[in-house]
Amino acid sequence: MLQVQVEGLTKRFGNNEILKGVSLAVDKGEVVCIIGPSGSGKTTFLRCLNLLEQPDEGTYALGEKIRCDFGHIGSNTRREVAMHTAMVFQTYELFQHMTVLQNVMEGLTGPRKMSKTKACDIATDMLERVGMLERAGYYPSQLSGGQQQRVGIARAMALSPDLLLFDEPTSALDPELVGDVLAVMRQVADSGQTMIVVTHEMQFAREVADRVVFMADGVVVEDGTPAEVFDHPKHERTCDFLGNFDIACP
């Protein structure tokens, strides 16, 4: 079943066209990893999918619930997209004045108007899943970067989104902390969650992704299985990028 379908997504900042008609389809439960050089439009693409950025052109469908023209998005559509997507950011974006538990509960008791009792139960379950329940009463300043990012994942998962977006979730972490976060992301992927992950972790993309998308200069250059993209890329631009990670093209 198709979960996400984007056609012709265009995004400009002034005269600078960042995304040049990007199209992507993602099945329900599929994990898609987006790789590519800095400045290729990967993060902007994610931010357009949850409408943190307003696209200029294109169409968008999310399951059977949301179908819209990017150029004509009203407040009702924005609310619907916010209710059915969640994002894990590079820099955690936790509320510093709230405890870990309160951070995870906030999206449930606020926009979703859930009772505190039910929200607490869900938040507790999510924190246990990411190995952070014992720090439920801590504040973000008392946590390592890896721990904060695991809380960010728990917060996103608590919303039960139709689409979960990850924007380079390990890029701000010290190398020794990366493994713990990637392990949690593997668990999320194994649960059947539909995920789009922007990452520079090539081994993670190879092992976990159902599909890998290579973006450069605001367009999708290559889209295929990990074996197709990493072992048998069709485009020289893909080979040049993979060479930066000591991945040799045949």
User: For residue 97, is it within any domain?
Assistant: yes
User: For residue 158, is it within any domain?
Assistant: yes
Distance between first and last Cα of the chain: 34
For position 78, which CATH number holds? 3.40.50.300
Host domain of residue 20: 2-244
State the pLDDT confidence band at 220, using cuts at 50, 70 and 90: very high
Query: 233: Cβ–Cβ under 8 A, 6 or more apart, which residues?
Result: 214, 222, 239, 242, 249
State the pLDDT confidence band at 250, using cuts at 50, 70 and 90: confident
User: For residue 135, is it within any domain?
Assistant: yes
User: For residue 250, is it within any domain?
Assistant: no
State the pLDDT confidence band at 248, using cuts at 50, 70 and 90: confident
- Section 52-75 average pLDDT: 91
User: For residue 249, is it within any domain?
Assistant: no
Flag whether pLDDT at 159 surpasses 90.
yes
State the pLDDT confidence band at 65, using cuts at 50, 70 and 90: confident
Amino acid in position 214:
F
User: For residue 113, is it within any domain?
Assistant: yes
Do residues 70 and 58 make contact, with C-beta atoms less than 8 angstroms apart? yes
- Section 130-146 average pLDDT: 96
Report field, pTM of the whole predicted structure over 0.75 = yes
State the pLDDT confidence band at 201, using cuts at 50, 70 and 90: very high
User: For residue 58, is it within any domain?
Assistant: yes
Number of domains in the chain: 1
In terms of Cβ atoms closer than 10 Å to its own Cβ (0-12, 13-18, 19+), residue 187 is middle
**Which pLDDT does position 108 carry in this prediction?**
95
| Ranges of H-type helices in 85-144 | 100-109, 116-129
**Which pLDDT does position 48 carry in this prediction?**
96
Please name every residue paired with 13 in a beta bridge, in sequence order, or none if there are none: 16
Matching residue, tokens 């998308």: 213
User: For residue 53, is it within any domain?
Assistant: yes
